[in-house]
Amino acid sequence: MHHLLLALPFALLPGFVLAAETHDHDHHHAQHGSLGAHEHGAAELDVALDSSTLEIEMRSPAMNLVGFEHAPNSEADDRKIADARKRLEQPDTLFGLSAAAGCVLAETDLQSPLFEDDVPEHEHEEGHDQDHSEIHARYRFDCATPQALTGVDLQGLFAAFPGTEKVQTQLIGPNGQHGAQLSADQLRAEF
């Protein structure tokens, strides 16, 4: 299943390449679509349902989730990181899934240089621009009745992280592959 999520960006690549070839190249880098653009307020979400396994992967600039991207340099920064991590560790409050599907969290993987404990500031994101820290969250759910899962609702995500303004969402499920840009005005994407 993890391979399915990894393949998702490549499956979408031809469409992005075509769009990029016809796009005016005078715009700033962050104004281009996903695929590597680091845009504050924007995040990416991949959702894949395969048999009874649901995988969700989110990539977001740290700015959207904690309010900054630098290594923590105060107790207030440490509290913001701990609060964001605590919220990310409770995906059932972030991603609205149909209760009838009976999805139970089986695995969580959170990655960010901001989550690394006891790492000297100069070693954070070695080789990367410290001003562009990102947070990656991966979740795997086992669903008792996967056919009852018709989509995902991000109301909880937008409420928990108001710095997130839009989420480019890609879903792979029994009805194929679908994409949607979600926001506080458009909270739900269907499989």
pLDDT given for residue 86 in this prediction: 97
Q: Can you spell out the DSSP letters for 11-77?
A: HHHHHHHHHHHHS-TTS-GGGS-SSS---TTEEEEEEEEETTEEEEEEEEEHHHHHS--SPP-SHHH
pTM greater than 0.85: no
Domain count, the chain: 1
pLDDT confidence tier of residue 177, bands split at 50, 70 and 90? very high
How do residues 101-114 score in pLDDT, each as one tens digit? 999 999 999 999 99
| pLDDT tens string 32-57 | 334 355 688 999 999 999 999 999 99
3 or 66, greater pLDDT = 66
Q: Are 145 and 184 in contact (CB under 8 A)?
A: no
Q: Which structural domain range is residue 99 located in? A: 2-14+42-116+129-190
Distance between CA atoms of residues 150 and 178, nearest Å: 12
Q: What is the dihedral of CA 123, 41, 45, 9, to 10 degrees?
A: -70
Classify residue 98: in a domain, yes or no: yes
The answer to the question of residue 121 being in a domain is no
Q: Quick one: tokens of 134?
A: 């990102």
